[in-house]
Structure 1
Amino acid sequence: MKEGTADGVDLRILRALQRDARISNADLARRLRMAPSAVHGRVRRLLAAGLIRAFEARLDPEALGAGLVAFVSIRVRERAACGAVGRSLAKLPEVLEVHSVAGEDGYLIKVRVPGTAALNDLLRDRIGPLRAVESTRTTIVLSTEKETSLFPVPGPDDAV
């Protein structure tokens, strides 16, 4: 399967799995009115093609003690060092997202920690000392109206 070659059935499979990754192959096949072996083959092809990256459980971070979300803009001294900084940031477990951005800052990251003390430790002890980091600017999230990793799959939305 080449990039952009997903057909309508593939898109319906992607939508269904995105809504409920735990759906059984048999249930998905019933909803699509297809043979289970055909659905299984399509899911394997979608995985091999990279259209499905992973099957993950969405956890409740607050219930697990990580209730503070912050976005941190990171200015780097030299653009040439950005790659190394990005790789270092990506290794930190509290860092959920690492984005290389246009403009004065080199990176925008999303972090989730238990509280302000943990955020301070992360910034002071693990991000600040990175060789190319010049400065950081932090925005603490007070409340979240929407947070999702669901991607709007293109094409007609025929429910599965």
Structure 2
Amino acid sequence: MIAVLDEIDRNIVAMMQVDATLAYADLGERVGLSASTINDRLKRLRAKGVIRRVSAEIDPHALGLDLMVIVLVEVTGRAEELAFITAMQAVPAVMECHHVAGEFSYLLKVRVASTAAYEHFLDRHLKTLAGIRRTQSLIALSSAKDSRVLPSQAPAEMG
């Protein structure tokens, strides 16, 4: 289990989520620490798995990935479920794969160029798998909010 973060770590994490290119000196100035102390804290946060990776957030439309589809998938059988998970992890168009409660087994977030590309995804990556009982596709027309930034305040402060 990951340790609970103190207020300074939470502030550092919040700023890193918004702009991971901030210089350590800038981060330190904002939280009242030296650049070397920021460096030490970031190393510790990485070592503990709090910061899993630092990457660039790319506009999907810039890559021609104009269609986002939420796919609900019902999978039957444990062996089929494990094969499904392995298959989805290997498909770049699958941005997220979540095991969910309810009528369906999994929720996928899929990014592709078009409805034709989505049909190809279904034909090649879902319909070919054993144990897929049914799917339901929800095409996003627009996104009022699409964020990967996690709330960083303490759980008691969230509302």
Q: TM-score, normalised by structure 2?
A: 0.91
The residue aligned with 1:105 is: 104
Whole-Å Cα distance in 1 between the matches of residues 27 and 133 of structure 2? Answer: 51
Aligned residues: 156
Q: Distance in 2 between matches of 1:32 and 1:113?
A: 40
Letter in 1 for 2:122: L
- The match for 1:115 is 114
1:36 paired to 2:35: yes
Give the counterpart letter for 1:85 in structure 2: F
- Report deviation, 1:80: 4.7
Which residue of the partner structure matches residue 5 of structure 1?
Answer: 4
Checking the alignment, whether the CA contact within 8 Å between 1:73 and 1:107 is kept in structure 2 is yes
Deviations 1:17-68 (CA, angstroms, capped at 9, x unpaired): 1111110112111222211111100000001111111111111111210000
Structure 1 gap ranges (5+): none
Corresponding letter in the other structure for 1:139: L
* Aligned residues of 1:128 and 1:135 also touching (Cα < 8 A): no
- Residues of 1 paired with 2:90 and 2:147: CA distance? 22
Match of residue 60 from structure 1: 59
How far the C-alpha of 1:79 sits from its partner, in A, is 4.1
Q: In angstroms, what is the RMSD of aligned CA positions?
A: 1.7
CA offset at residue 150 of structure 1?
0.6
Q: What runs of 5+ residues in structure 2 fail to find an aligned partner?
A: none
Query: Residues 66-90 of structure 1: CA distance to partner in whole angstroms, max 9, x if unpaired?
Result: 0000011111122453232112112
Tell me, yes or no, if the aligned pair for 1:79 and 1:106 is still in contact at 8 Å.
no
Q: Write the letter of the residue equivalent to 1:71.
A: I
The list of structure 1 runs, each at least 4 consecutive aligned residues, that deviate by more than 2 angstroms after superposition, is 2-5, 154-157
Contact preservation (8 Å) 1:86, 1:100 = no
Query: Whole-Å Cα distance in 2 between the matches of residues 20 and 74 of structure 1?
Result: 35
Q: What's the secondary structure of 2:80's corresponding residue?
A: helix
Which structure has the highest helix share of the two?
2
